[in-house]
Structure 1
């Protein structure tokens, strides 16, 4: 299934993923991780982007962020990527690319999926066997959300702030979100949306995005368009009882193919409710 055009809408959170070239490492020691986080904070400030969650893995970066100005995230990622590649090439006396092309991104229906995406991102180190507990991994936003240790990189989203009146209450409520395992289908759904650049959300949210962006965000339904009732009644080789001109036929084709099968998304969204 092809990727849809990338969308960058102000005040809509995005899940961002950037992978090392050929899945090779892009961080080699603690100093590299520290430099990337400092660069992320500076680029986010410069281009007016709120970073809500992140994880830095040996060969991958995942970030959840909200742009406050048009093209905030593309500008931030371009600046961040360029600066970090220059740093790595200079430090390790190397040349060439570090990342596997452009970053991938997916818009997030914050009310339905934002805190779920926090968990998805921050659980990566444990799923990959990089830490025995989330608090042991220093290169993610988990300790910011689950304790009173504050990160200079993070700007808290309203949904996180609504977890409690005080930092301690919010941290305790956030830790409770990790008591239950992720449903496998939900993990696959989130991974698929970021891989294909699809919107993570239900029909109402996707329709809202299509209206704002004035473009389609849902993939076309596969298969040939369904025949009309008149065409079905007509015998082989016979014309239908109603003449359909060329323009009307094309419009009908687009309408049928514009319908979206939301069975999978609906099942997974139901698990979140």
Structure 2
């Protein structure tokens, strides 16, 4: 799943914005009942590898994007759309493709020239995999 900033503008202007978004993801998991297998927060977009359970993806994404948009607009004293249209979702049906998508997500900042290695980028689920950290990310073995 990917969501981009409206007109390719930044949706995360400061580190605190990314921290807020991650906190929101953690908090909404229990109430919305979904699993996160990976994520990356770039300045003007984000990717989340998510598995829905009993809620529809559109309900989950509406809650996540709506709450973040309200935060962003209030913080930066602006109005209007934060995200460019609806999120884009791609169905993952097998484990090989799941691993490929996860690698693609984690490689995003390297491909964008932001860092040289995946492990250098702070705003990604890579650390859960690299260090075997248990948390809100469901690590794929």
Q: TM-score range by the shorter chain?
A: over 0.9
1:32 aligns with 2:17: yes
| Contact 1:62 1:121 survives alignment (8 Å) | yes
Q: Residue 114 of structure 1 corresponds to which residue in structure 2?
A: 98
Match of 1:82 in 2: 66
Q: Which has the higher contact order (CA 8 A, sep 6+)?
A: 2
| Among candidates 132, 138, 141, match of residue 155 of structure 1 | 138
Note if contact 1:26-1:60 (Cα within 8 Å) is conserved in structure 2: yes
> CA separation of 1:78/1:130 partners in 2, compared to 1, >3 Å: closer, same or farther?
same
1:112 shift after superposition: 2.8
Distance 2:58 2:109 in 1: 26
Give the aligned partner of residue 49 of structure 1: 34
Is the aligned partner of 1:100 residue 2:84?
Answer: yes
* C-alpha contact 2:107 2:118 (8 A) present in aligned 1: yes
Pick from 31, 39, 52: which aligns with 1:67? 52
The CA deviation string for residues 51-99 of structure 1, in whole angstroms up to 9 with x for no partner, is 110000000110111111141x221110111111111111111111100
**Number of residue pairs aligned between Structure 1 and Structure 2:** 141
Give 1:26 deviation, angstroms.
0.4
Which residue matches 2:5? 20
Alignment map for 1:161-240 (pairs within 5 Å): 161=141
Q: Secondary structure at the match of 2:99?
A: helix
In structure 2, what is the equivalent of residue 182 of structure 1? none
State the alpha-carbon separation in 2 of the partners of residues 54 and 140 from structure 1.
6
Q: Deviation per CA, 1:167-191: give whole Å up to 9, x if none.
A: xxxxxxxxxxxxxxxxxxxxxxxxx
Residue number in structure 1 paired with 2:126: 142
Deviation beyond 4 Å, 4+ runs, structure 1: none
Determine which structure has more spread, i.e. the larger CA radius of gyration. 1
Query: 2:33, 2:55 within 8 Å by CA — same for their partners in 1?
Result: no
